[in-house]
Structure 1
């Protein structure tokens, strides 16, 4: 009886360890996927942000509107000898009213542009480009802020009851100030987004993983708490990161299956 118990509890020998290692190796048969392959696969599927074309078109329309407004004010409002031509084109509508209507239409285009930019930037954030989304957070709303401020100044000028000539000069001054501020902002935004599209960088998490794998002195990630960062900012960053990681895990599983089948 004692010998049987000893046989049951006898520790496994070297042959059992070898058999166990062979069984474990059989579970991971197939080619291994390198980190470079996954990184390059994700990099190839980079989706550009198409808003530079919208920003360029909006800049051109803004400049054209200001030039036409100045011509209309000089020829039709300030009475430069073209009253008959203005009457035949505008009819009974006053020149200042046409400029104001154009201002409203331009503001509506800027509002539409801001909504389009917000949509594409939110898609970029969902793809993991959190740093780019935060860098452009204030810049993408700046043109709408400038035009809305111009509308407020225009309402104040219209409510002041100024003489027609003074009103026209004030209106042109507001339009000139807007174009001097809004167009450079749009151009700067266009340069930033075009640079982002040209770099075709991997998502932030992939960049951090890649830098930790191939750099000895890699910088720490920004997902933790820092002394100079507020709690709300940390929570917001972590929420964005969790949302991206859910989508990234699904995408990465598909990449593993595709690359394994190719090898």
Structure 2
């Protein structure tokens, strides 16, 4: 009897324990299901949230074309150069060689010699050319940072040419001064150097002005966008632009790739900022 009583008690406890587990099981399953449901709802809310439209994103990323304003500076420098040479010829003929009224030159120049006035003017003109070169370098560097790497490289030698010509003219003038020639020969040599300098520097400035005006008129997209457009039609053209082949200059290729990487870094930084702003607005 005692054994039967113990077996009955143990069976009752097992039944109660089984009933408790059955009563708690659905709630745990429900809780787990609710957690999964909430997670899926949160993930769906992130995916199904308001997305940025492609038009709004494209309009935010697209940057307006900025022209290079240096043609005005080049035209003004060319005009000043022509005026300087004309005035130098007048001073040399009228005041140095005394082909005109000496009293008029004395009243205008005072005690300063005519050739000294020409040299002072040449020094001032060289300073203006130096300022022009610095201004051109600044604006071309900005165009380079906007992605116009091909334009920057095409104009790299041309923008330095006027300064090189004027510096070479200064060296020739120093040689003439050091030679201690007669007054007549000295004056004619000075005028010849100024004339040759004008004949070389003026076409360079005019050619530079035409190239920059053509660039401003075309309003082309950055080089990266142009390469992407060409890539849609021909993959070979993109490989010739970025790949190294026999006969090409490795230094130029490395510099071009460095410029491209620098531009892409700046572009990605700007893109991230504008994406954050658009996300905050939406």
Question: Aligning the two structures, in what range does the TM-score lie when normalised by the shorter sequence?
Answer: 0.7 to 0.9
State the match for 1:92 in structure 2: 111
Query: 1:117-168 deviations in whole A, cap 9, x for unaligned?
Result: 1111111111111100100010000000100111111111111111101111
Residue pair 2:230, 2:238 contacting (<8 A) in 1 also? no
- Judged with a 3 Å threshold, the aligned counterparts in structure 2 of structure 1 residues 128 and 136 are, in CA distance, closer, same or farther, namely same
TM score, norm. by length of structure 2: 0.77
- Which of 249, 270, 278 is the matching residue for 1:230? 249
- Judged with a 3 Å threshold, the aligned counterparts in structure 2 of structure 1 residues 195 and 104 are, in CA distance, closer, same or farther, namely same
Between 1:187-196 and 1:244-253, the stretch displaced more is: 244-253
TM score, norm. by length of structure 1: 0.82
Give the Cα separation in 1 of the matches to 2:211 and 2:62. Answer: 19
| Matched residues, number | 241
Give the Cα separation in 2 of the matches to 1:255 and 1:102. Answer: 51
Residue pair 2:52, 2:278 contacting (<8 A) in 1 also? no
Give the Cα separation in 1 of the matches to 2:237 and 2:49. Answer: 33
Task: Name the structure, 1 or 2, with higher relative contact order (CA <8 Å, separation 6+).
Answer: 1
State the match for 2:8 in structure 1: none
- Judged with a 3 Å threshold, the aligned counterparts in structure 2 of structure 1 residues 209 and 255 are, in CA distance, closer, same or farther, namely farther
State the match for 1:220 in structure 2: 238
The yes-or-no answer on 1:240 pairing with 2:259 is yes
The yes-or-no answer on 1:30 pairing with 2:51 is yes
- Judged with a 3 Å threshold, the aligned counterparts in structure 2 of structure 1 residues 200 and 262 are, in CA distance, closer, same or farther, namely farther
Give the Cα separation in 2 of the matches to 1:192 and 1:259. Answer: 38
- Judged with a 3 Å threshold, the aligned counterparts in structure 2 of structure 1 residues 254 and 33 are, in CA distance, closer, same or farther, namely farther
Between 1:128-137 and 1:221-230, the stretch displaced more is: 221-230
Query: 1:179-201 deviations in whole A, cap 9, x for unaligned?
Result: 11101100100010111111111
Give the Cα separation in 2 of the matches to 1:192 and 1:41. Answer: 30
Query: 1:202-259 deviations in whole A, cap 9, x for unaligned?
Result: 111111123324x356721523323233332222112111110011112233555677
Between 1:221-230 and 1:238-247, the stretch displaced more is: 221-230
Identify the structure with the greater helix proportion: 2
Give the Cα separation in 1 of the matches to 2:257 and 2:50. Answer: 36
Q: Which runs of 5+ in 2 are unaligned?
A: 1-39
Between 1:234-243 and 1:154-163, the stretch displaced more is: 234-243
Give the Cα separation in 2 of the matches to 1:126 and 1:112. Answer: 21
- Judged with a 3 Å threshold, the aligned counterparts in structure 2 of structure 1 residues 250 and 140 are, in CA distance, closer, same or farther, namely same
State the match for 2:68 in structure 1: 49
- Which of 158, 161, 164 is the matching residue for 1:145? 164
Give the Cα separation in 2 of the matches to 1:71 and 1:63. Answer: 13
Query: 1:49-102 deviations in whole A, cap 9, x for unaligned?
Result: 111111000000000000000111111111113100000111111100100110
Q: Which runs of 5+ in 1 are unaligned?
A: 1-18
The yes-or-no answer on 1:190 pairing with 2:209 is yes
The 3-state SS of whatever aligns with 1:92 is coil
The yes-or-no answer on 1:121 pairing with 2:125 is no
Give the Cα separation in 1 of the matches to 2:182 and 2:61. Answer: 63
- Judged with a 3 Å threshold, the aligned counterparts in structure 2 of structure 1 residues 43 and 132 are, in CA distance, closer, same or farther, namely farther
State the match for 1:5 in structure 2: none
Give the Cα separation in 2 of the matches to 1:69 and 1:63. Answer: 10
- Which of 164, 169, 181 is the matching residue for 2:183? 164
Please state how far the C-alpha of 1:42 moved relative to its aligned partner.
Answer: 5.8
